[in-house]
Structure 1
């Protein structure tokens, strides 16, 4: 699993967040359930009274991933929008956007 996806899942568990970021990335509800259960199996979360809570190990995983990615300041708290990111292109590549994508 990608570190970006893992940190989103752990933060959803921690803050009882919304699943929309994962749905926008193309995950189905069953895939999200599998990802959540995977975090429970790893020990990053526990299931108690039909609710999922983050463990101290999960908190430590969030901190480790953020430190590995070199995030500082406000970037520690705000996740980048993964759905809008595009692959790097060559410096000599000429990009011509579609006329439908232009907003003016």
Structure 2
């Protein structure tokens, strides 16, 4: 099991591939750490550890394949709008971090 996991965040993992895949899919879909732990029957610390490992691996892969690549000739940007905490109509002017926000991704 070790050889096929070399170069991945699962190198020293004791969990099965299926359980890690399920755990990361739940996190990617927006499930919280405790909720993911309950759904995959794992401890919240395990969920956090694998989420951090996968995030660091994605960051490193991005840096190697895109950010520092001389062959990158174009990039795609996207945006999405979402509510944070509550609807804009229910926000006070002092609620600067709440309401409708745009998220931009490149």
For the aligned pair, the TM-score class normalised by the smaller chain equals 0.3 to 0.5
TM-score after normalising by structure 1 = 0.32
Give the number of the structure whose residues are more often helix, by fraction: 1
TM-score after normalising by structure 2 = 0.32
Q: Which protein has greater RCO, CA pairs closer than 8 Å, 6+ apart?
A: 1
Give the number of the structure whose residues are more often strand, by fraction: 2
